[in-house]
Structure 1
Amino acid sequence: MTDIRDLNAVAVRDSIDIVNKVRVADLGRPTPCAAWTLADLLGHMTVQHRGFGAAARGEGADLRIWEFAPAGEDAVERYREASEFVLGAFAEVDDSLDSVFELPEFKVDPPRFPARIAIGFHFIDYVVHAWDVAATLGVPFTLRPELADAAVRVALAVPNEDNRLAAGSSFVPALDSAEDASPLDRVLLYLGRTPDWRPPSGE
């Protein structure tokens, strides 16, 4: 698979499989995302699908689309619906992937990115967020071999600068990685996650 849309679709569908395991009683669980419960994380994931899908259709500049809200009891259903929305919107993008996405949540001026780059942002987010949900639930997560090279490449292209210390940043500063680390661990560590994260004792 060389089309970033195909890679992204696999990552998103893997995330759906994991989110399908969520039960209402799980929504208050802590996650690897500091200060976020699983309800917060799923709310973020759902809104980001909606925002990126709107951006693919030329409507990303509307800030209302990106407004965050924690997930409720219908979290799984809403996540599935948002996933299908973004995958459908990406499939409609011209195959040249040269169209421009407006992504106002990115603090750059102007917040416009070629489709290829923007979909890459989305892809790596959902590789990592699928792992976040799996870790929260204590279920296994496997990065598919066909996604590994692209995931490492896209992750390592994310700047590791002061932007990661800003409030609301998607990732915290990179952690050290061993030379023999797996592709998944390389991605997680570079994006500030701890691969062996577990919920606090008693959760």
Structure 2
Amino acid sequence: MNSGELLERSLAYALGSVATVPPGSLRRATPCARWNLGELLGHLDDALDALHEGLTGGRIGLFPAAEGRADPACDFRRRACALLGAWVALPGEGRSVTVGDRPLDVRVMAATGAVEIAVHGWDVAQACGRPRPIPSGLAAELLSVAQCVVGDEDRGVRFAEPVGVLSRADASDRLVAFLGRDSFSGRGWSAFRE
């Protein structure tokens, strides 16, 4: 798996979801119970900023800088382009990024970021009432990454418990279910967590 390609494909998918955000919709509920659509887009923007910071400065701070956002969807598009540019300009393999005080291989950072970006892209599409499954090949690769980086200690804190899926569920549904989202049930979003 090429982390840069995975990141690029996740950004392309999420950009497609952000393109469906209608004007005046930032207060809509999302599958992330703690956030409305505007807050979710702000979180996505913060994630892109952190990834960009890691690629260009070799370090990611633990606390994002708070800033006002006039148009979070536009901010996301702008930062997505900057992030792709930073990835392309990245010199060579074997580079690490410091997160807090711990080193992390830049490829692991990119793959983990790709999971977050694509799944939150899915959340955005759900909130906009225009559900878009994550493309099957991308979702299958992201699921293998998520299974490596999301542990039991993340459940109830960053992610809800996995949701059961039918054996015939596609890769997109298996991925979002693993991260605590239910694409099949009629339950309200109060059952979801970020």
Alignment of 1:1-80 (within 5 A): 2-63=1-62, 66-68=64-66, 72-80=69-77
8 Å Cα contact 2:139/2:172 also seen in 1: yes
* Structure 2 CA distance for aligned equivalents of residues 52 and 117 of structure 1: 11
How has the CA–CA distance of structure 1 residues 160 and 59 changed in structure 2, closer, same or farther, with 3 Å as cutoff? closer
- Say which of 79, 82, 87 aligns to 2:79: 82
Paired positions, count: 189
Letter in structure 2 aligned against 1:67 = A
* Structure 1 CA distance for aligned equivalents of residues 149 and 142 of structure 2: 11
RMSD: 2.3
Residue by residue over 1:121-165, the C-alpha shift from the partner in whole angstroms, topping out at 9 and shown as x without a partner, is: 111111101100000001131322331331221122133313322
Residue by residue over 1:88-125, the C-alpha shift from the partner in whole angstroms, topping out at 9 and shown as x without a partner, is: 112222342x2112234xxxxx4321011111111111
* Structure 2 CA distance for aligned equivalents of residues 73 and 200 of structure 1: 29
* Structure 2 CA distance for aligned equivalents of residues 13 and 68 of structure 1: 26
Q: Which structure has more RCO (C-alpha within 8 Å, separation ≥ 6)?
A: 2
8 Å Cα contact 1:56/1:89 also seen in 2: yes
8 Å Cα contact 1:24/1:73 also seen in 2: no
Residue by residue over 1:10-41, the C-alpha shift from the partner in whole angstroms, topping out at 9 and shown as x without a partner, is: 21022112212213311000100012100100
Structure 1 residue ranges, 4+ long, deviating more than 3 angstroms after superposition = 61-64, 196-201
- Say which of 96, 99, 103 aligns to 1:103: 99
- Say which of 166, 171, 185 aligns to 2:173: 185
What's the TM-score once normalised by structure 1's chain length?
0.82
* Structure 2 CA distance for aligned equivalents of residues 51 and 114 of structure 1: 15
Matched, 1:149 2:149: no
Unpaired runs of at least 5, structure 1: 105-109
| Partner-residue secondary structure (3-state), 1:24 | coil
Residue by residue over 1:61-102, the C-alpha shift from the partner in whole angstroms, topping out at 9 and shown as x without a partner, is: 4456x2355x74422221111111111112222342x21122
* Structure 2 CA distance for aligned equivalents of residues 135 and 52 of structure 1: 24
Q: Which residue of 2 aligns with 1:117?
A: 108
Letter in structure 1 aligned against 2:164 = D
Q: Which residue of 2 aligns with 1:107?
A: none
What is the identity percentage for the equivalent residue pairs of Structure 1 and Structure 2?
23
State the shift of 1:173 in Å. Answer: 2.1
8 Å Cα contact 2:6/2:111 also seen in 1: no
* Structure 2 CA distance for aligned equivalents of residues 54 and 197 of structure 1: 38
* Structure 1 CA distance for aligned equivalents of residues 149 and 61 of structure 2: 25
8 Å Cα contact 1:131/1:141 also seen in 2: yes
